[in-house]
Structure 1
Amino acid sequence: MNNNCVNIAISGLGLLTIDDIKKRLINGLPHSTQINWTHITDNKLDCLVINEDFFENNNIQKIINEKNIPYLKVSKVKRANDPHLLCTPITDEAALQNLIQSCLKMISNTPVQFQPSDLDSNSAMDSQLFNQIYNEYSRKLLLKDQYGTIAVLDHHAHWAWPDTTRQTFMTNESIMYVDATTSDFLRISRKHQKNLENWLFELIWNSPHFMHLPDDFATFRLHYWPQPIVTDQKIILQLSAAFSLGAQVSTVSEKLNISLMTVKKFVIANQAIKNIEKISLKDVRFSVQNTKIQESAESSQIANFFQKLKRRFGF
């Protein structure tokens, strides 16, 4: 946990119950505290709300005991003297309020670690946030940031419906997602349907740097060529061609005369849509192919030079 974000997982419950609990938690926590709705296997999990039927599961017990995190068991059966029990339908929010207070106490007790030299890397996000979208139980998700709604997503059908009233097509490290509700669909139009992967690639490409950048000497291979509708299509095609062979970040920048930042942004945008994988240096083909083409061109030029000499002097 950091000092303005709490990672909460809600598991084993119906969508209506999950939506109800989320709304109550959002209303109960201060506006300055951001909630990251995550999954129970998240290493940074801060708080767990789970169906009582699964509470005694060994894995669940291990998570609660090892992490020593606040939790609630959700049940339809009311029992006295259990501060960790939340009964549904929810008529008494005492258990939720206790959970909120425990979360706030954890935040206040979390030491702030600030190192000026590492400011950019500490504030940057990991592409795992976007990868996790594809594993969510709810197929309709609301993507938002500090400026409001960005889009409603359907990761099963691979569609995105952007909020057309949004003035700028970019985001930052405040981006997050929650289960979409009926009211969320009133903000978007089904007529403006986009391919999820191409749209998400374009969102990250257009945004200022807010994700962890790969190392200069990292090597990757692209799975398929992204097809975003952006003004930088030529550059994206060049980068797609290079990384489809398997390439090193710094080599691509040097050979194509494209800035390192642009090459790295291409990589992280593809990482977000699970369209690129790390490979070993021995599997890189881009620099090898480039070298072979260059050597072939040089050999051809030398051969032509000697042919001209032979014709001139009658050899």
Structure 2
Amino acid sequence: MTEQYLNIAITGLSIHHSEELKTQLRNLIPQEYKIKWSTAADPTIDCLFIHENFYETDGIQKIIQSRNFPWLKITKNNDNENILQENTLSLPIVNPQNFSDWILQHLLNTSLENPNEHIFEVNPKKTPYKLEYFSKMLDKERNSKLHLFDNLGTIAIIDVQKNIAWLNPEREQAFTDSGFGYDIASTSNFMKVSRKQTYLLNDWLWQFFWDSPLFLKEIAPEDGHFKIHMWPKPSQNLDRKVVFQLSSCFIQGGKVSKIANQLNIPLETVQRFIAANIATNNLSRINIWDKHFNPPEAPSVSEDAGFIKGFFGKLRKKLGI
């Protein structure tokens, strides 16, 4: 089976603006083209949309200069909404005609001239982001400090043994969506972070990945049995309740789909929770016959809900939360 794809990368935008741009692209690109959302590091991308604040970063400049594809800087400016000039598109897009003309001229014409370049067998995306990838990153036996980065440059330098992180103060983006990686920190890497303030690595890293749902989609399991090692400590009040509920279950071990049903939480949220714990090496796979969180069957929905509510109430009291 073969299909015609356009590989499009969006980098540096917030989730809201990224979804806004994706919606416009779906509406403006003819249906005979299947859109594959890629990363800036993908060597097969056909088009790149990059937030203007990250356009000058070394990683993005290297990608743009080494390959030939159309690209646009994205800016958020209500005074210049819907303006497309000097390779910069202003959001929001009220009248999409200019954007549609740009797509036709720079993206679709290119693809029509070389249609075979975009035809390939549909295979599952291979990703290095397995549990082992993160367990190596957070190996407490490691003596060296690590440089965390993505396509937008330095994220932080971490010292796993001392459980501390130094952040890049010039980075406005508090999440990652593509190209995440790590290597041994060099002297030049240290020049990009501030050592005036340190962060607890466990807490900061968990929050960082939890706030990166687009990245976590690459590693989120469809289902499975897992047990977390420690309770995460989200810094956002909005997330604490759901993270607390999920932690209460998975600290005992549980199945993703079953916990979603028992707590009446969207499956995607539970998968995101598991992925965040994979990325922070705070989780193990367990067997189906291992001990699980499994409240007993109750004769009615109200009694079952009361049991779960009482369970969490006792747990909060015990933990002093």
TM-score, normalised by the number of residues in structure 2: 0.52
- Compared CA separation, residues 296 and 285, structure 1 to 2 (3 A): farther
Which of 109, 124, 129 matches 1:125? 129
Residue 255 of structure 1 and its aligned partner are, at CA, apart by 1.3
Q: Mark the CA change 1:129 to 1:114 in structure 2 (over 3 Å): closer, same or farther.
A: farther
Which residue in the other structure is 2:185 paired with?
A: 180
Give 3-state SS (helix, strand or coil) of 1:270's partner: helix
Trace 1:1-315 onto structure 2 (pairs within 5 A).
Answer: 4=43, 31-32=62-63, 114-116=120-122, 118=124, 121-122=125-126, 125-135=129-139, 137-210=142-215, 211-216=218-223, 218-230=224-236, 231-286=238-293, 288-291=294-297, 297=303
Counterpart residue number, 2:80 = none
The 2-side partners of 1:182 and 1:249 are apart by 42
Structure 2 match to 1:304: none
> Relative to 1, partners in 2 of residues 1:268 and 1:290: Cα closer, same or farther, differing over 3 Å?
farther
Tell me which amino acid in the other structure corresponds to 2:295: Q
Decide whether the 8 Å contact of 2:142 with 2:161 is kept in 1. no
Partner SS for 2:230? coil
Q: Is the 8 A contact 2:164 2:200 kept in 1?
A: yes
Compute the displacement of 1:151 (Å): 0.4
Letter in 2 for 1:241: S
Using the alignment, how far apart are the partners of 1:203 and 1:124 within structure 2?
A: 19
Check 1:269–1:113 CA distance in 2 against 1; reply closer, same or farther (3 A cut): farther
Deviation of residue 139 (structure 1)?
A: 1.9
1:274-314 Cα deviation digits (max 9, x unpaired): 2111112222432x32536979948x9xxxxxxxxxxxxxx
CA contact (8 A) 2:142 2:160 kept: no
- Taking only aligned residues, the RMSD between alpha carbons, in angstroms, comes to 3.5
Q: Which amino acid aligns with 1:289?
A: P
Shift of 1:152: 0.7
Listed as ranges, the gaps of 5+ residues in structure 1 are: 6-26, 34-111, 301-315
Query: What is the CA–CA distance in structure 1 between the aligned matches of 2:119 and 2:162, rounded to whole Å?
Result: 41
Distance 1:293 1:245 in 2: 24
Per the TM alignment, residue 114 of structure 1 is displaced from its structure 2 partner at its CA by 4.7
Q: CA 1:175 to 1:295, structure 2 compared with 1: closer, same or farther past 3 Å?
A: closer
User: Residue 152 of structure 1 contacts residue 162 of structure 1 at CA under 8 Å; is this kept in 2?
Assistant: yes
Question: Which SS does the other structure have where 1:177 is aligned?
Answer: strand
Q: Find the aligned partners of 2:185 and 2:214 in 1 and give their Cα distance.
A: 27
Q: Distance in 1 between matches of 2:226 and 2:299?
A: 21
Supply the distance in 2 between the matched residues of 1:234 and 1:283 (Cα, whole angstroms): 26
Report Cα offsets for 1:164-186 as digits up to 9, x if no partner: 22111111230111221233223
The code of the aligned residue for 2:235 comes to: I
Matches of 2:121 and 2:261, distance apart in 1: 32
Partner-residue secondary structure (3-state), 1:283: coil
How far 1:232 moved relative to its partner? 0.7
- String of CA shifts for 1:32-89, please: whole Å, max 9, x gaps: 59xxxxxxxxxxxxxxxxxxxxxxxxxxxxxxxxxxxxxxxxxxxxxxxxxxxxxxxx
**Shift of residue 137 of structure 1?**
4.8
CA contact (8 A) 1:222 1:240 kept: yes
Q: Secondary structure at the match of 1:187?
A: coil
**1:138-183 superposed Cα distances (whole Å, 9 cap, x missing partner):** 5211111110110011111111111122111111230111221233
SS in 2 for 1:188: coil
Count of aligned residue pairs for this structure pair? 194
Unaligned runs of 5+ in 2: 1-40, 45-57, 65-117, 307-321
Alpha-carbon offset, residue 126 of structure 1: 2.4
User: What is the identity percentage for the equivalent residue pairs of Structure 1 and Structure 2?
Assistant: 32
Q: Deviations over 1:241-275 (max 9, x none)?
A: 01112111001111112111111111121122221
How far the C-alpha of 1:116 sits from its partner, in A, is 3.6
